[in-house]
Amino acid sequence: MPTPCIGISTYLESSVRWGVWDLPAAVLPAGYHELVQRCGGLALLLPPDDPGAAEETVARLDGLVVTGGPDVDPRRYGAARHPRTGPAHERRDAWELALIDAALERGTPLLGVCRGMQLLNVALGGTLIQHLPDVVGHGGHCGPPGVFARHVVKPVPGTRLAAVLPEAVTVATYHHQALDRLADGLTASCHAEDGTVEAVELPGAGGFAMGVQWHPEAGTDVRLMQALITAARARRDAREAP
């Protein structure tokens, strides 16, 4: 059978250096596509595009990964900007929100990673904590610049996530924002020891719709991506059945 096609959203940066070049570029940490490939998927990178192209794009995919990255523009969830919130990336916000909407509409298996989980919550009407240390009183969810921190997360029994990760695990993490008000329909399926929501899922979705606050592409545990690939393969097979 054909390999499941997994779309992965990317950054769009105004200046990226490689070799003798310094040019605008769509970029993505290699851990994302390598994890998809390691788990049996065909990785397709999706740079920001016109949001109107999202439906056609998702129609050609078997699964979707919305990746980590910069802070979501607080205007997207009706909030004033916190002093520690980063610059807006309007094209990426618009594109990834449109991808999420299209994936949910079509029942395409979806995994949001870090920012991707936050966008899933915002897409469905939820809000974000703009600077998590203000709430939890520590900076343990984010290491020094460019370095992942690590902490334990505990899945909620009975959730789909707990079926994939049945035990507490140590994860790679790099974020200063987090979920605040959960969107209607989303279920918190994992927490950090300080109570921070570390994963959500959409139980009513016909397929696989999940977000995690940590970075599976920066660790060695492949179970979460394997679950997405399995769901993508099942979705494709059901769609192609006579």
Query: Which single residue is written with the structure tokens 């991707």?
Result: 116
Q: Tell me: the pLDDT tens digits for 36-87?
A: 999 999 999 999 999 999 999 999 999 999 999 999 999 999 999 999 999 9
Residue 205 has pLDDT above 60, yes or no: no
**pLDDT tier at 241 (50, 70, 90 boundaries)?**
confident
Could you tell me the CATH number of the domain that includes residue 69? Answer: 3.40.50.880
What is the model's pLDDT at position 59? Answer: 97
Q: Per the structure, how many domains does the chain have?
A: 1
pLDDT tens string 98-119: 999 999 999 999 999 999 999 9
> In angstroms, rounded to a whole number, what is the distance separating the alpha carbons of residues 220 and 216?
7
Length of the chain: 242
- C-alpha 73/C-alpha 94 separation (Å) is 10
Residue with tokens 């994302």: 32
Q: Are 117 and 72 in contact (CB under 8 A)?
A: no
Among this protein's residues, is 89 annotated catalytic? no
The reply to whether 217 belongs to the active site is yes
Average pLDDT (140-164) is 97
- Position 103 scores a pLDDT of 97
Cα distance between residue 134 and residue 177, in whole Å: 10
Supply 190's token pair. 């994992």
For position 85, what pLDDT does the model report? 98
CA gap 196, 132 in Å, rounded: 9
Quick one: pLDDT at residue 206?
61
Tell the burial category of 23 from Cβ atoms under 10 Å away from its Cβ (0-12, 13-18, 19+). Answer: exposed
Distance from C-alpha of 183 to C-alpha of 53, rounded to nearest angstrom: 25
Per-residue pLDDT of 73-100, as tens digits, reads: 999 999 999 999 999 999 999 999 999 9
Catalytic residue among 114, 175, 176, 198: 114
Question: Domain limits at 89?
Answer: 5-240
**pTM exceeds 0.95 for this model:** yes
Q: What is d(CA 95, CA 151) in angstroms, rounded to the nearest whole number?
A: 31
What are the angstrom distances between the C-alpha of 137 and each of 134, 140, 190, 194?
A: 6, 9, 20, 9
